[in-house]
Amino acid sequence: MLYLVLFNVIILLFPLIINLFYCTYSNNISKEQNKLYLDISLLSSLYLLLIFNKENTSLIILFNIPLIFAFIKKRTFVSIIITFIILFNYVDNNIIIHIIEYLIYYLIYIFYQKNILNLFLCIKFVFNFDILTSIIFVFIAYLVVFLYKKGEDIIKLHMNIKELEQEKQLRTSLFKITHEIKNPIAVCKSYLDMFDINNKNHEKYIEILKEEMNKILLLLQDFLAMNKIKIQKEILDINFLLEDVITQFEPVLKEKNIKFDYEIDEEEIFIEGDYNRLNQVLINMIKNSIEAIEKNGIIKLRYEVGDSFKIIIEDNGSGIAPEDLEKIKEPFYTTKKNGTGLGVSLSIEIINAHNGSIEYFPLKKGTKVVIELPIYKLSSFGID
């Protein structure tokens, strides 16, 4: 008997649980479709009960469990269909009594929907003359409803966690927008502060300001898409990129009395990368060095060429504490008063997309950052 009870619980729950998971993991299901799939699940549960219990007429009482679900979920039309199927399968001579019984169920469903499960089971217990069968029915009904509601609770918990993750991603993206737009705006402000309309040498600042504004527009375009940063790779001369970064920072460093010591050769070294994104990383690294320097500042920029291309940036700033060095790559971790903790993590994301790496090393006085990128090799017949 216990085996029979468990078997019926399984065949009752199977279509309902399948429907629950399908509706949860499908993104484009409307409320009407959800209701339709529930109706199909209830009819499927009833069909399975009919198939597997057709030889055992004493268990026809179990056919009422899909009807209970239809009442609980307020599915009127499908409840009428289930009722007709149940009445059709009664083979005894008490059909009039059964019709009266189900009319009472519908009156309760229409006029008094609170505690409908308990009322339904009480009436079914009165109208069924087999006490053992009634006890089995009540037990299975409570068990199936309990398990289904627990399944719903688990799915709701999953959806809540999913919504929290989406909210976290949104918040992260907004922090990234704030942090990365702040960099080009800060550069624009520095040049505007130095700009003298009567000085013809300052006309070159206009092009730099335009470039910085274009970077802001690019950042906004990416973050509005709410996606991971897009990398558009092309063959580029890394020395040209480094010279561009140096040109951008020289006036700012001069104003702050920070010595900028750099070693750049005229030799062409090619990598496959996104010019704007790598520019963004280098600006962020140098900006961090500037902010770490208090006085008598020196920033060194050089590179090493081997199996890969290494950009090395050193400063004599306040440095990184050992406990901070372990956490510096974590999103939101920052030692700055007004920092978001996303500059390093965003730079790492960009460099990783280029199949490279970023490593931080504490110096006796200051910090060393090593950015490693793969070199794009040229074939003897041209570019591969």
Work out the pLDDT band at 169, boundaries 50, 70, 90. Answer: low
The highest-confidence range among 1-5, 157-161, 198-202, 255-259, by mean pLDDT, is 255-259
> Does residue 142 share a domain with residue 55?
yes
> Does residue 13 share a domain with residue 149?
yes
Work out the pLDDT band at 372, boundaries 50, 70, 90. Answer: very high
Residue where one domain finishes, among candidates 163, 182, 202: 163
Residue 384, pLDDT > 70, answer no
Do residues 29 and 23 make contact, with C-beta atoms less than 8 angstroms apart?
Answer: yes
**320 located within any domain:** yes
**Mean pLDDT, to the nearest integer, of 111-122?**
72
d(CA 245, CA 255): 16
> Does residue 159 share a domain with residue 75?
yes
- Could you list the residue range(s) of the whole structural domain that residue 39 is in? 2-163
**Mean pLDDT, to the nearest integer, of 86-91?**
76
pLDDT recorded at residue 94: 74
**152 located within any domain:** yes
d(CA 281, CA 299): 16
> Does residue 282 share a domain with residue 153?
no
Residue 379, pLDDT > 50, answer no
Residue 380, pLDDT > 50, answer no
**200 located within any domain:** no
> Does residue 138 share a domain with residue 278?
no
pLDDT recorded at residue 146: 83
**Among residues of the chain, what percentage have pLDDT more than 90?**
2
Q: Please tell me the chain's helix, strand, coil percentages from 3-state DSSP, rounded to the nearest 5.
A: 65, 10, 25
The highest-confidence range among 78-87, 137-146, 155-164, by mean pLDDT, is 78-87
* C-alpha distances in Å from residue 64, one per residue of 40, 49, 71, 195: 16, 10, 11, 83
Work out the pLDDT band at 197, boundaries 50, 70, 90. Answer: confident
> Does residue 251 share a domain with residue 130?
no
Residue where one domain finishes, among candidates 119, 148, 163: 163
> Does residue 265 share a domain with residue 130?
no
Task: Check residues 156 and 352 and name the one with the higher pLDDT.
Answer: 352
**Among residues of the chain, what percentage have pLDDT more than 70?**
78
CATH of the domain at 336: 3.30.565.10
Average pLDDT value over all residues in the chain: 77
> Does residue 157 share a domain with residue 236?
no
> Does residue 377 share a domain with residue 263?
yes
- Dihedral sign from CA coordinates of 47, 52, 54, 59: negative
* C-alpha distances in Å from residue 252, one per residue of 140, 143, 156, 255: 77, 73, 53, 5
pLDDT recorded at residue 172: 67
Residue where one domain finishes, among candidates 163, 195, 221: 163
The number of domains in the chain is 2
pLDDT digits (tens, 9 = 90+) for 30-76: 677 778 888 898 899 888 888 887 766 666 777 788 888 888 888 88
> Does residue 300 share a domain with residue 153?
no
DSSP states along 263-307: ---SS--EEEE-HHHHHHHHHHHHHHHHHH--SS-EEEEEEEESS
**222 located within any domain:** no
Residue 356, pLDDT > 80, answer yes
* C-alpha distances in Å from residue 240, one per residue of 11, 266, 270, 271: 69, 9, 10, 11
d(CA 372, CA 351): 8
**236 located within any domain:** yes
**184 located within any domain:** no
**178 located within any domain:** no
Residue 340, pLDDT > 60, answer no
**340 located within any domain:** yes
Residue 124, pLDDT > 80, answer no
**Mean pLDDT, to the nearest integer, of 170-184?**
69
> Does residue 234 share a domain with residue 159?
no
> Does residue 246 share a domain with residue 135?
no
